[in-house]
Amino acid sequence: MVRFLIRLRPENEPFRIPFNHQHRLQGLVYRRIQRVNPDLSLSLHNPKVPKLFTFSLFMAEKRELAEDKSHLLGYGHGFFYFSTAVPEIAEAFISGLLQRPEVELWDERFVVEEIKALAEPERLSGRKFVTLSPIAVTTKRVQFGKPRTYDLSPAEPEFYELIKENLREKYVVLHGSEPPEEFEIKVLNAKPKRFEVKPGIFQIAWHLVFRAKGDEGLLKVGYQAGFGEKNSIGFGMVKVDGKKNRPKSDSVGAKREM
């Protein structure tokens, strides 16, 4: 059980959802992991090691654009998805949420009301995927005589090469061996979004609908830990299209009666 749906009851309604909110959710993940497992939290701050977890954008049962168009307004419950390829990470984060269900995000207060462990698809190769948070892929390009970070798009072959390379790196960390070579992505629909991931630091990432084929183990890494880069900042989470994320009947997630 490495994928979860986390539903939050807001203190006020409507509640505000900033367009650039991934870093706030990332902070929540790290704080709750640190509460339960400080050593694990410290190891996740190593910049040279893939973090092997990801999460979706923050959503609402109903939402609309605020009148001044500076943010979204949410109604009903707020929710987001969390996924990891490492059970220890899942255990620490979910335990931390259950121990302290009161959550404050961007000056809005919520209470964790329900956590559901979600079943994984039996087969991934050949399936259609939809992003729950956009996929980020970057490289270095020389501009004005200096190497600078360049955000790649699905129109560039290097976009797909680096996605595969990133998946293989994660696979090696998880399994200690090189994965099979079979891997192919065909993008069916693409929409760019520009995010401010830190003050003054921006990332162009892509909401995609795509079909992926290849080794099941390699695709599973992408499904669990995210496709592309910056997964622990909230990029690269996907779902299988046409199949709702349904809770397992033996879900470890506890519904909280308030």
Given strand 238-240, what is the order of strands in its sheet?
183-198, 201-214, 128-131, 238-240
Alpha carbon 233 to its chain centroid, in Å, reads 7
- Which of 21, 23, 30, 207 is catalytic? The answer is 30
**Letter string b/e over residues 162-174, b meaning 16 or more CB atoms within 10 A of that residue's CB:** bbbebbbebbeeb
Residue pair 212/129 in contact (Cβ under 8 Å)? The answer is yes
Q: Is 207 a catalytic residue?
A: no
CA-based torsion, 71, 98, 135, 131: positive or negative = negative
User: Helix 216-225 to helix 157-175 angle, to the nearest 10 degrees?
Assistant: 90
Residue pair 220/181 in contact (Cβ under 8 Å)? The answer is no
Closest residue by Cα to residue 40 from 2, 83, 96:
96
* Residue 47: φ, ψ to 5°: -70, -15
Q: Is 30 a catalytic residue?
A: yes
DSSP 175-205: HSSPPPS-EEEEEEEEEEEEEEEETTEEEEE
Active site amino acids: 30, 45
